């Protein structure tokens, strides 16, 4: 009987240790995500401004003015949405809550939808639209990669640490470093003079 009690005690301690380990993993994931947010969101914001700068270069061509106006409207919404997410992240760092994280998720989805809209057909010549599409695709891929962790982090806040570990380990794409993103962005701009002064 004593041996049985010792075995049960050992198993109990092992389970507690495992739970603690998973909880620390979740906390570490949350901290890393917030760190990525503080590093990447200013770059994303600059990217949206860069797109608006490039769109501005089209307005002087009467044949492209209508498309440029539509793109500018979407680009402005993208920039405003990213700025809103940035402010919400700052608020979350001060006063974390599941409710606020859910609001961040909703705002991030709206931004993602707007970036996707930049990939639409606006009747621009291919040689004009291709550089914009390349920039929008880069921004979309990295914004989605960063945002993909939100469901796991919501689970972390709710202390579903096993779910967090599984969700994080199941991600296929992680955000690249801000410097790498900037390099890729500027390489697209440099290869396409029509983008003008759109480097970040």
Strand ranges, E, within the chain = none
What backbone phi and psi angles, to 5 degrees, belong to 148?
-60, -20
Per-domain residue ranges of the chain? 2-195
pLDDT score of 16: 36
**Is this prediction's pTM over 0.85?**
no
* Cβ neighbours of 176 (radius 10 Å): 17
Binning pLDDT at 50, 70 and 90, where does residue 80 land? very high
Dist. CA 187–CA 81, nearest whole Å: 25
**Greatest mean pLDDT among 10-19, 54-63, 123-132:** 123-132
* Cβ neighbours of 13 (radius 10 Å): 10
Angle CA(22)–CA(13)–CA(7) in degrees, nearest 5? 135
Asked if the model's pLDDT at residue 144 lies above 50, the reply is: yes
Dist. CA 61–CA 109, nearest whole Å: 33
Provide the 8-state DSSP code for 64: G
* Cβ neighbours of 50 (radius 10 Å): 24
Binning pLDDT at 50, 70 and 90, where does residue 44 land? very high
Give the residue with greater pLDDT, 94 vs 86: 86
Dist. CA 106–CA 162, nearest whole Å: 24
Q: Which residues neighbour 1 within 8 Å (Cβ) at sequence distance 6 or greater?
A: none
DSSP string, 75-92: HHHHHHHHHHHHHHHHHH
Dist. CA 1–CA 107, nearest whole Å: 58
pLDDT score of 33: 75
The pair of three-digit structure tokens given for residue 11, joined into one six-digit string: 């198993």
The pair of three-digit structure tokens given for residue 46, joined into one six-digit string: 């600059």
Q: Summarize pLDDT for 145-191 with one digit per residue, the tens.
A: 888 878 777 776 666 444 444 444 444 455 778 888 899 998 998 88
Q: Which residues neighbour 89 within 8 Å (Cβ) at sequence distance 6 or greater?
A: 34, 37, 38, 41, 104
Dist. CA 100–CA 154, nearest whole Å: 10
């Amino acid at each position: 009987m004593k041996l049985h009690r010792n075995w049960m005690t050992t198993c109990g301690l092992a389970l507690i240790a495992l739970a603690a380990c998973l909880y620390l993993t979740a906390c570490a994931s949350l901290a890393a995500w917030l760190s990525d947010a503080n590093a990447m969101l200013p770059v994303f914001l600059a990217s949206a401004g860069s797109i608006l700068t490039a769109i501005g270069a089209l307005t002087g061509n009467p044949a492209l003015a209508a498309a440029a106006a539509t793109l500018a409207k979407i680009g402005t919404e993208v920039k405003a949405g990213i700025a809103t997410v940035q402010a919400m992240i700052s608020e979350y760092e001060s006063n974390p809550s599941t409710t606020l994280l859910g609001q961040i998720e909703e705002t991030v989805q709206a931004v993602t939808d707007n970036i996707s809209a930049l990939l639409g057909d606006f009747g621009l010549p291919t040689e004009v639209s291709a550089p914009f599409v390349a920039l929008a695709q880069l921004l979309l891929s990295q914004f989605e990669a960063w945002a993909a962790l939100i469901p796991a982090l919501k689970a972390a806040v709710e202390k579903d640490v096993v779910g967090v570990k599984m969700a994080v380990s199941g991600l296929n794409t992680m955000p690249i470093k801000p410097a790498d993103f900037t390099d890729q962005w500027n390489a697209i701009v440099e290869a396409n003079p029509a983008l003008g002064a759109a480097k970040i």
